[in-house]
Amino acid sequence: MPNDDIQDFAAMSAALTGFQLEFLKPALDTTNLSQAYFDYATKATQNEQATVQTLLTAYRAISTQPPQQIADTLLETAGQFPSPQALLAESITKLWYTGSWYPPGSVVMSEVVSSLAYTNGLAWQVMQSHPMGYSPFSFGYWANEPGPLSQFGVDTGSSTGAK
């Protein structure tokens, strides 16, 4: 896949999730989740009405807008009945937060993408926690108060976000 697709997928995902692009796709990316999620979502939607490529095309048309406006547009938050494209954007958001695939329009998870995806789910960052049985923190970390959400990659408005 072209690197531009992965970079745009990561930037779109930053707007959808509210996380900093540099957190989702760091310069030295040891997990390469952007590629894994792009590949998974592309394969899962290849025969669907909305595909990752159609969503990326919509994102590219509005990519200069502020992240919140991009998210609101792609998720169609102003509408009552989301389009297949908006449901796909929602599925991609869930994928980043949980490491699991929820087919567009479904509230039922179809599968966990991988153990790496699960342990790196953004939900753990928002909770300033980690999944049971796995921790990237050193022993005794719980003795200190957690840092601000921005320290965990959340775009709190003080960074450039997905711009």
Determine, yes or no, domain membership for 119. Answer: yes
Determine, yes or no, domain membership for 14. Answer: yes
What's the domain range around 146?
3-152
Split into its structural domains, the chain has a count of 1
Determine, yes or no, domain membership for 161. Answer: no
Beta-bridged to residue 100, according to DSSP, are 112
Please, is 127 exposed, middle or buried when counting C-beta atoms within 10 Å of its C-beta (0-12, 13-18, 19+)?
Answer: exposed
Determine, yes or no, domain membership for 160. Answer: no
Angle (CA) 48 16 147, round 5°: 145
The Cα–Cα gap between 19 and 144 comes to 24
Mean pLDDT for the stretch of residues 90-96: 97
The Cα–Cα gap between 151 and 138 comes to 16
Determine, yes or no, domain membership for 13. Answer: yes
User: What's the pLDDT tens digit per position in 22-74?
Assistant: 999 998 888 899 999 999 999 999 888 889 999 999 999 999 999 999 999 99
* E strands present in 31-156: 100-101, 111-112
* Bigger pLDDT: 156 vs 22: 22
Q: Sign of dihedral through CA atoms 75, 70, 159, 135?
A: positive
Determine, yes or no, domain membership for 47. Answer: yes
The DSSP annotation for 30-54 comes to SS-HHHHHHHHHHHHTTTSSS-HHH
B/e letters for 139-150, b = 16+ CB within 10 Å, e = fewer, are eeeeeeeeeeee
Determine, yes or no, domain membership for 44. Answer: yes
User: Which pTM does this prediction carry?
Assistant: 0.83
